[in-house]
Structure 1
Amino acid sequence: MSGLNAIAGIGADQRRGGYSRHVFDDAERHLREWFVEQAQNRGLAVETDANTNIWAWWGQPGPGAVVTGSHLDSVPGGGAFDGPLGVVSALEAVELLRERGFQPRTPLAVVVFAEEEGGRFGVPCLGSRLMTGTIHPDHARNLRDPDGGTLAEAMRSFGADPARIGRDETALVRIGTFVELHVEQGKGLIDLDRPVAVADSILGHGRWRFRFSGQGNHAGATLIDDRNDPMLPAAQLVLAARRTAAATPDGRATVGRLVPTPGGTNVIASTVDVHLDARAPSGARSMVDDIAGRAREFAAQEGCQVEVVEESFGDTVHFDPALRDRLRGVLDDVPVLPTGAGHDAGVLAAEKPTAMLFVRNPTGISHAPEEHATAEDCEEGSHALARVLADLAG
């Protein structure tokens, strides 16, 4: 797709591979500028809301709009398609409709949500969570990135006012339906040998931080029996999370980030932060409760303490069945698939009729450089999205 090719050099991560594009960093700012330019080239009127989500309007903004879009940020070292494919496809769908002479009877908008991945401040879908009020503004303002900077400080540097963030009734009233296109994060469409599907549900999921505290000391001068090393219970937690998830029906538990302090090779850590992602169709919290109980046992065995903080959580989301079936009818009964990945569409589903389209990923890999979608399948996706938008806004 030409749009993806145009942004292919922005945020390329030379160390990890793939892309690292995080809210308000240079790469994400360049992507925002690119989106604004592309939207304006298509005759769309662009505005940025108080939560730094970007809206591009076809028609006068107003109640009952048909909205599509996704996000432009990534996880550290992520793929090229997660997020940007939905944005690029939305712009291409608008272009296809304009070429056909289509005129929407209701307002139509393309939105770019901020910090969907939580790659900088740790909370996923931050832009949509703020807009819907599912995260408190004070909590959001005090979120910190890995360098210790707060979201409030980053917003001021970006030119936004952190005092204005929070539930946005104006934006919510404007949304009539929301449809998000996304590269599939799994193998469902590979197994079905189909290019496009409609989403059925999103697995319940959340993020937790386990902070193990012990006694920092010299790696060479401290005898093994004299240590209170928080790295040991942290390591045991990683294994316990895997075992607990394996014993939970369709459960998933992942430690993707582990941060020792002070972090020296020849230093026994004083604290170790273990960041856990846990997902299950039901009972994700009870799964984490079991993991937390084991963590306390591990900490006590090493003479350490552990603090557990829930950073974000969302129950299993079932997308609007009437909207889902309507999309299937428009798209000639494409398959219906669940997903284990979270999305802004899942946050909005509690407020508005919401749906998702998936485009086949021939590798089945996501959140990694190997994530992919063929040009032909991307074109199928943008044409499918155009048909859906025409039906909903026509």
Structure 2
Amino acid sequence: MWADLAPIGRDPDSHGYRRSAWTGADADCRTWFQEQAETRGLTYETDRNGNQWAWLGDPTAGDAVVTGSHLDSVPDGGAFDGPLGVVSSFAALDELRARGATFTKPLAITNFGDEEGARFGLACVGSRLTAGKLTREAAYELRDADGVSLPEAMEAAGYDPSTIGADPERLARIGAFVELHVEQGRALDLSGDAVGIASAIWPHGRWRFDFRGEANHAGTTRLVDRRDPMLSYAETVLAARREAELAGAVATFGKIAVEPNGVNAIPSLVRGWLDSRAADQDTLDTVVTAIEKAAREYADRHGIDLDVVRESFTPVVEFEHALRDELGTILREHTGQGRDIPVLGTGAGHDAGILSESIPTAMLFVRNPTGVSHSPAEYAAEDDCLAGVRALADVLEGLACR
């Protein structure tokens, strides 16, 4: 399975993956998912929001146990973020069948669409729509860098965008969702464990900073006469790093758009996107407020107009304690070592976090020895990946085969 997925959407120069939602690479990944489902005799379906499902047992019976993740990527992303969870889900089902497990509940494997938000700027679109956290009207307003709207992209890929929206009936049939994911950090590497359990997802959001100045000639305009928004933006980037460091949080300006974007032209507009995350809401609020305050001071100094818009926000997600503890008990019993499985928080968002207010959710992490993620250097050793498959199989057996 891993070898089949490896070439899809891989850039020959960067060696990173470009699997944005509703593109050709995304379509190839979806075809791969459908083939994996049909090869195993599973009932395949695509829901109203374009998410893929592969069912073992009656999808309408209720109290289903669901696992899976996503197959799309950030620009030049790594091979493991998302796909490891989907591949491991199919492999865990194979493992359970090899054990002769008897399922007492329906089991489903899913691929949630547009988790990374690389194309339309909003993460977890498929799960947000399903959970009712993104309205159809708001989804219809999403556009990519070329001005293509989400419904236009879906329609071009062969899906009907008129059906998108909340899907409470589907969620009501799910008793638990467990997502396996490569760790996006080094906590497991430092503890010496191959697999861990998620405790919570940090609150996080994205803010757009629009610095508006005056376009002019780069060679003939005196420095003193310039209203250059790039200066205010650059100072704000440094402020973000400083404020995050002081608070023990993270803040990143990772995307920028410049107008008119000419080498010999002073910009009229510099638009930068801030991603910030912290262990708790108060800290996050403190950091973002301080960054915006600094940005306005810099803008005033240079005669720049500034607008700040919060484009998305996800509050802290505490995974259901009862399900999280049950995973710990199952894994402790199967390892036979009598030791607790490490429980750790994460600053990365996931579909499991989006769904947590609607259904019981939990996450397993697989060790990432470098901690690198959203990069071609993202990595997990084969032995650790197999340990993740066994752990997921143990969890699914404990939840769906009793």
- Partners of 2:308 and 2:159 lie apart in 1 by 32
Find the residue that maps to 2:281 and give its secondary structure.
coil
1:233 paired residue number: 232
2:204 paired residue number: 205
1:385 paired residue number: 392
1:347 paired residue number: 354
Find the residue that maps to 1:28 and give its secondary structure.
helix
- 1:103 Cα offset (Å): 2.8
- Partners of 1:221 and 1:191 lie apart in 2 by 55
- Partners of 1:14 and 1:230 lie apart in 2 by 36
Describe the superposition over 1:281-331 as per-residue Cα deviations: whole angstroms up to 9, x where unpaired: 222234212211221221122111111111111111111111111111111
- Partners of 2:206 and 2:308 lie apart in 1 by 11
- Partners of 2:88 and 2:199 lie apart in 1 by 20
1:182-261 matched pairs, under 5 angstroms: 182-248=181-247, 250-261=248-259
- 1:105 Cα offset (Å): 1.1
- Partners of 1:354 and 1:289 lie apart in 2 by 31
- Partners of 2:165 and 2:260 lie apart in 1 by 35
Bigger Cα displacement from structure 2, 162-171 vs 315-324: 162-171
- 1:221 Cα offset (Å): 2.4
What percentage of residue pairs aligned between the two structures are identical? 52
Describe the superposition over 1:77-109 as per-residue Cα deviations: whole angstroms up to 9, x where unpaired: 111100000000001111111222223211110
Aligned residue type for 1:185: Q
- Partners of 2:108 and 2:32 lie apart in 1 by 17
Aligned residue type for 1:370: A
- 1:258 Cα offset (Å): 1.3
1:54 paired residue number: 52
2:272 paired residue number: 274
Task: Report whether the alignment pairs 1:323 with 2:330.
Answer: no
Aligned residue type for 1:285: D
Find the residue that maps to 1:310 and give its secondary structure.
strand
Give TM-score, length-normalised by structure 1: 0.97
Aligned residue type for 2:329: G
Instruction: Structure 1 unaligned segments of length 5 or more: list them.
Output: none
Task: Report whether the alignment pairs 1:146 with 2:153.
Answer: no
Aligned equivalent of 1:37, options 31, 35, 38:
35
Aligned residue type for 2:14: R
2:162 paired residue number: 163
Aligned residue type for 2:121: G
2:64 paired residue number: 65
Aligned residue type for 2:161: P
- Partners of 1:166 and 1:262 lie apart in 2 by 37
Find the residue that maps to 1:276 and give its secondary structure.
strand
- 1:16 Cα offset (Å): 3.5
Aligned-residue Cα RMSD (Å) equals 1.2
2:308 paired residue number: 308
- 1:147 Cα offset (Å): 1.6
- 1:15 Cα offset (Å): 4.1
2:299 paired residue number: 299
- 1:149 Cα offset (Å): 1.4
Describe the superposition over 1:175-202 as per-residue Cα deviations: whole angstroms up to 9, x where unpaired: 1100000001111111111111111111
2:336 paired residue number: none
Describe the superposition over 1:179-228 as per-residue Cα deviations: whole angstroms up to 9, x where unpaired: 00000111111111111111111111011111111112221122212211
- 1:73 Cα offset (Å): 0.6
